[in-house]
Amino acid sequence: MSSSDPTVQPVPASVVEQVDAADVTLSNPKRAVISLGSNLGNRLETLQGAIDALEDTPGLRVKAVSPVYETDPWGVDPGTQATYFNAVVLIKTTLPPSSLLERGHAIEEAFERVRDERWGPRTIDVDIVAYQDVVSDDPRLTLPHPRAHERAFVLVPWNDVDPQAEVPGRGTVAGLLATVGQEGVRVRVDLELRLPE
């Protein structure tokens, strides 16, 4: 079709900008890894609710959900807290890391997460473990998560959903897991998290 065709009207610049902006939100999604943990209330229901809330986020799709693992609380005396249910979720998103962090905090607030003590019990913990290959020491959101490479409760379920995965700047998940070991991370074959429809 030639540009001299009188039936072809020029598209206003504002419309072109809107289409381009919309296209950016749909194309070129980034891979991210989210770690979930809960040791208060109905832990399985809370994990599923967090996964569903992630899926309901515009510009975000949940691509894989790990099995459920039961783990002992980190950094506290044995027996002082209930065990955790942990899982890892792989997502594709067009949200930048800062927006993904805000969404994670909003989900935690929706499930009444309380942040009054370090390593305290929590209804839900939503952590961004990795975002593409981004390495950042921003104090608000350090990427990859500064302790993910040494935590079996993150590495074990992550390895389940992506055996080829790498922790940016740290090495393969499988290699790190071989170093850290799987002690205290027990798979719960009787429990299952659903991938959102």
Residues belonging to the active site: 113, 122, 125, 127
Question: Measured between alpha carbons, how far is 125 from 104 in angstroms, rounded to an integer?
Answer: 8
- Of 60, 87, 92, which is closest to residue 192 (Cα–Cα)? 87
82 contact partners, CB below 8 Å, separation of at least 6:
39, 40, 73, 121
- Of 92, 98, 196, which is closest to residue 139 (Cα–Cα)? 98
Question: Measured between alpha carbons, how far is 112 from 10 in angstroms, rounded to an integer?
Answer: 52
How would you classify the pairing of strands 84-93 and 60-65? antiparallel
